[in-house]
């Protein structure tokens, strides 16, 4: 393993959203300086950084400053240009690698890579032209989901299609972008596994999370997942195998679908900390963001043990209206932990924060989480 990067050094973060903010808080708490590159003048991560470079991810001057001043650089989302990661890697360590991010940021590349390496996915077809849809109707079938290959997240860039005619209209609405047509499965549940992997190939796995989505956006994560031991073990082993196959370095998450009486299928790879891992801030010995600092700096991996069952709930801009939500309804409970992301404007579907409810009884934590949301 390379030499440890110790507190006092400057770390670089590409991206200034809430994941970058929580990384920055973890890094600064551990004694590091942080430079954030993000084009948003109101960047949530930039509010906590020592330096906020308000520039495009390809800006030569900003990249030169990061290359000269940062001991190592990471990212908070997969849509940072891979060429930027390659350029910076010529000057200092960049984790995860451009190659790993490039696979995860393109649905065609990701699903093809998973299939080639023996990981089960939902049946899919690559749609480059309208003519591809007719063939896909035979191999994939309907109902299905048409997903744009790049820049789709939280349910954006995807449309449920009931038949070929509907798929053709949806493809036209997407401007002819390359897409994936994926068979719509009957899901029994959705799981995710967050892990940290270092340069030596050592891996630390967090407990399996059970995730409930609403309109394509993560709504609730329940940890540990309410699934049997064998299924949880399969999920952890699959995530571990993916990380090793990618020769990944950093924090990553793997999302799974459970179908057909307990069969595991990979949905997506996230080459970064993950929304479903936010519970680690309050319920684990080391958070996923501390783990991100540790893997970036060649420190020993953090301890991932969960000390208390937890339920994490996303707070979307929908509940803001024209004023702040009723925070007193949440803060009256000492078992509820509130995290707000410092975003200046709330809008429907925008992740503004989250809260986590902790209790020795997972069902009690879940009941409290739902009670609080109703009050908010």
Residue 199's domain is classified under what CATH number?
3.30.470.20
Does 158 or 313 have the greater pLDDT score?
Answer: 313
Residue 153's pLDDT is what? 58
pLDDT tens per residue across span 180-216 = 999 999 999 999 999 999 999 999 999 999 999 998 8
Tokens at 355, concatenated: 């809260």
Q: What is the pTM of this model?
A: 0.95
Residue 79's pLDDT is what? 87
pLDDT tens per residue across span 289-313 = 999 999 999 999 999 999 999 999 9
| 257 part of a folded domain | yes
CA distances from 71 to 65, 200, 367 (A): 12, 19, 45
pLDDT average, residue stretch 117-127:
95
Residue 151's pLDDT is what? 66
Residue 156's pLDDT is what? 63
**Number of other residues whose CB lies within 10 A of the CB of residue 59:** 16
Does 1 or 41 have the greater pLDDT score?
Answer: 41
Does 364 or 131 have the greater pLDDT score?
Answer: 364
| 116 part of a folded domain | no
Using CA atoms, how far apart are residues 54 and 43, in angstroms rounded to an integer?
A: 9
| 99 part of a folded domain | no
- 304 and 198 housed in the same domain: yes
Inform me whether the pLDDT recorded for 155 exceeds 60. no
Using CA atoms, how far apart are residues 167 and 184, in angstroms rounded to an integer?
A: 13
Residue 152's domain is classified under what CATH number?
3.30.1490.20
Count of domains in the chain? 3
Residue 176's pLDDT is what? 79
Residue 67, H or E segment:
helix 60-69
Residues 198, 249: contact at Cβ < 8 Å? yes
- 160 and 139 housed in the same domain: yes
Q: Which domain holds residue 49?
A: 10-94
What percentage of the chain exceeds 70 in pLDDT?
98
Mean pLDDT of the chain: 95
- Cβ contacts of residue 192 below 8 Å, gap of 6+? 208, 209, 211, 221, 253, 254, 255, 256, 274, 276, 277
| 49 part of a folded domain | yes
Residue 152's pLDDT is what? 57
Residue 25's pLDDT is what? 98
Q: At 123, is the pLDDT very low, low, confident or very high (cuts 50, 70, 90)?
A: very high
Residue 174's pLDDT is what? 87
- 269 and 198 housed in the same domain: yes
């Amino acid at each position: 393993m390379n030499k440890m990067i110790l507190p006092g050094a400057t770390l670089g973060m590409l991206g200034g959203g809430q994941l970058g903010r929580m990384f920055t808080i973890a890094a600064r708490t551990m004694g590091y300086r942080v430079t954030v590159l993000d084009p948003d003048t109101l960047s949530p991560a930039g509010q906590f950084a020592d330096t906020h470079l308000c520039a495009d991810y390809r800006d030569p001057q900003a990249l030169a400053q990061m290359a000269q001043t940062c001991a190592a650089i990471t990212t908070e989302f997969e849509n940072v240009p891979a060429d930027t990661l390659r350029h910076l890697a010529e000057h200092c360590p960049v984790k995860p690698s451009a190659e790993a991010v490039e696979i995860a940021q393109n649905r065609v590349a990701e699903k093809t890579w998973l299939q080639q390496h023996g990981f089960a996915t939902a049946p899919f077809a690559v749609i480059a032209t309208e003519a591809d849809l007719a063939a896909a109707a035979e191999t994939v079938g309907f109902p299905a989901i048409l997903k744009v290959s790049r820049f789709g997240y939280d349910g954006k860039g995807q449309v449920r299609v009931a038949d070929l005619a509907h798929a053709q209209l949806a493809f036209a609405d997407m401007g002819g972008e390359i897409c994936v047509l994926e068979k719509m499965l009957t899901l029994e549940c959705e799981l995710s596994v967050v892990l940290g992997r270092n340069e030596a190939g050592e891996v630390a796995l967090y407990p399996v999370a059970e995730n409930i989505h609403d309109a394509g956006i993560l709504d609730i994560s329940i940890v540990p997942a309410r699934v049997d031991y064998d299924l949880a073990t399969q999920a952890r082993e699959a995530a571990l195998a993916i990380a090793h196959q990618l020769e990944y370095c950093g924090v990553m998450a793997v999302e799974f679908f459970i179908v057909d009486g307990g069969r595991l299928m990979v949905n997506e790879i996230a080459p970064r900390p993950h929304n479903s891992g936010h519970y680690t801030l309050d319920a684990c010995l080391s958070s996923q963001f501390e783990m991100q600092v540790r893997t970036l700096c060649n420190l020993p991996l953090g301890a991932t043990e969960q000390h208390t069952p937890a339920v994490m709930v996303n707070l979307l801009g929908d509940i803001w209206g024209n004023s702040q939500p009723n925070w007193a309804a949440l803060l009256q409970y000492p078992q509820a932990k509130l995290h707000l992301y410092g975003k200046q404007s709330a809008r429907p579907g925008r992740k503004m924060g989250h809260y986590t409810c902790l209790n020795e009884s997972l069902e009690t934590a879940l009941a409290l989480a739902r009670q609080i949301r109703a009050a908010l």
